[in-house]
Amino acid sequence: MFQAKGLSKTYHVKNGEDVHALKNVDLTFGDTGMVFILGKSGSGKSTLLHLLGGLDRPSAGEIVLDGVSSAGFKDGDWDKYRNQSVGFVFQEYNLLPEFSVRDNIGIALELQKKKTDAAVIDAVLQKVELKGMENRKPAELSGGQRQRVAIARALVKDPKIVFADEPTGALDEETGRSILALLKTLSQEKLVIVVTHDRDFAAAYGDRIIELSDGAVVGDEVLPPQEVVQE
């Protein structure tokens, strides 16, 4: 189980008013499933995802993963949480352009001080359907393939939770759907939390839709099970 308890974030802006980007958010997630966080631009979606994923620290509140609270986390605990418990996928892929597909994925293991195990990387490449592409550089891949590399990089750490911030934002609709279908498949084994502003995608692929407005949760709906057509 994964929880946000009283999670708040205030940004202090130089020569400006404080921005209360997230206000006292309480959420409880199961161990698996595809959860969408929906909301307009500026509603606090990325802020929430960054706090849940340990990329940024809350101004107040805590996250609790399997009974372990972030309340007493030191810097090293946050690093460990980020490196071991969660994986991130971003809209712009954030791949290293000079490195091959294999090395982009291997770096995630090295950051964990694990040996780059070719068999582990091969298995992840298989999962994201990128076998045969391991020696290419990001520039030699399509947008959808790059996002699959980013997903593979998140997965190779075998995290409990995969976070994706607008993962289809830079892709055409059909490619976006194939990425969401892949994340949906992964969500049978892991908790997958996806930020989007696309209500149709959320309704088509989500098990649950949490809606944010002005930094607060204004909707939280569990959707009936559905059959996703695999492309």
The site for ligand ADP (CB under 6 A) is made up of 11, 13, 19, 21, 39, 41-47
Number of residues that bind Mg ion (CB under 5 A): 2
* Edge-first strand listing for the sheet containing 68-69: 19-29, 2-11, 60-65, 68-69
46 binds Mg ion, rule: CB under 5 A: yes
Backbone angles phi, psi at 54, to 5 degrees: 75, 15
Q: What number of other Cβ atoms are within 10 A of residue 10's Cβ?
A: 15
Closest approach, Cβ 96 to ligand ADP, in A, equals 24
Closest approach, Cβ 197 to ligand ADP, in A, equals 8
Closest approach, Cβ 159 to Mg ion, in A, equals 21
Query: How far is CA 191 from each of CA 170, 208, 228, rounded to the nearest angstrom?
Result: 23, 12, 17
Identity of the residue, 106 or 176, whose beta carbon is nearer to ligand ADP in the bound complex:
176
Identity of the residue, 100 or 213, whose beta carbon is nearer to ligand ADP in the bound complex:
213
Closest approach, Cβ 215 to Mg ion, in A, equals 12
3-state secondary structure 71-127: HHCCHHHHHHHHHHHEEEEECCCCCCCCCCHHHHHHHHHHHCCCCCCHHHHHHHHHH
Residues with Cβ within 8 Å of residue 181, at least 6 apart in sequence: 205, 228, 229, 230, 231
Closest approach, Cβ 182 to ligand ADP, in A, equals 22
Identity of the residue, 46 or 85, whose beta carbon is nearer to Mg ion in the bound complex:
46
Q: What number of other Cβ atoms are within 10 A of residue 61's Cβ?
A: 18
Partner in contact with 43, chosen from ligand ADP, Mg ion, none, beta carbon below 5 to 8 Å by kind: ligand ADP
Identity of the residue, 45 or 190, whose beta carbon is nearer to ligand ADP in the bound complex:
45
Identity of the residue, 17 or 75, whose beta carbon is nearer to ligand ADP in the bound complex:
17
Which residues in this chain contact Mg ion in the complex, by CB under 5 A? 45-46
